[in-house]
Amino acid sequence: MQTKPWRITTAQAKVGYVVASAVVEVLVVLLLLALDVSPSAVGLLGALWFLATVLVGVRVFRGPGEPVAPPRAWWRMTAGPVVGYLLAAYFVADGVVARGLAAERLDLGGAVVSVLVAAAYAASSTALVVLRVQGRPAPGSVSPARVRDSGSDPARG
C-alpha cells in the first residue's frame, strides 16, 4: 500500500503551520525558563526548533502550479524566486535587527541560524532565476511542453 506524501498547499494551512510552530516554540521556551534551564541552552534549543520548522516547511509546502506528489529538488525552498527573496530579506532582518537589537544580549545562535536560512532562501531563488533565464524548467516543475492539452481551446479544433 502506497501512501500519498503529506503536503501543505493552501495559504491558510501554511499560515496555520507557521503560527502553530511559533506557539509551540514560545510555550517550550517558557517551560524551559520556568524549569531554570540556562538562557544559552534555551537559545540554542530555540534556534534548533526554528531550523527544524523551516526544513520541514520547505519540504512540505507547495505553491500554485507546483507538482504535489514528487519531492522538490534538494536545493529548492520555494515555488518561485520572489517569495524566496522576500523570506530572505525577512530572515536577515530577524537575524540582524530583531535578535541583535531587541534582546538584552545578542542571541548569537538565533542570529546565525536566521542569516544562514536567509542565505539558503536567496541561493534557492537565484538558482530559480538562472534556470528561468536559461529557459530551463526548475526541477519538479511542470514544463509547458509536458502539459496535456485539455481540448478547451476551440481554435485548435
User: By C-alpha distance, which of 88, 111, 116 is closest to 100?
Assistant: 111
Which ranges of the chain would DSSP assign to H, the alpha helix?
11-34, 39-60, 81-92, 99-101, 108-133
What whole-number distance in Å separates Cα of residue 104 and Cα of residue 154?
66
Question: Can you give the pTM of this predicted structure?
Answer: 0.81
Name 61's bridge partners: 8
* Res 156 pLDDT > 80: no
Mutual angle of helices 108-133 and 39-60, in 10-degree steps: 20
What whole-number distance in Å separates Cα of residue 49 and Cα of residue 60?
17
Amino acid, res. 24: V
What whole-number distance in Å separates Cα of residue 62 and Cα of residue 69?
10
Mention every residue, 6+ apart, whose C-beta is less than 8 A from residue 28. 45, 46, 49
The residue count for the chain: 157
> How far apart, in Å, are the Cα atoms of 144 and each of 45, 55, 60?
44, 29, 24
Q: Please state the φ and ψ torsions of residue 86, each to the nearest 5 degrees.
A: -65, -45
- Top-confidence residue, 139 or 124: 124
What average pLDDT is seen over the chain?
A: 83
pLDDT tens-digit readout, 43-85? 888 889 999 999 999 999 999 888 888 888 999 999 999 999 9
* Res 157 pLDDT > 60: no
Q: Which three cell numbers stand for residue 138?
A: 526548475
User: By C-alpha distance, which of 118, 99, 101 is closest to 109?
Assistant: 99
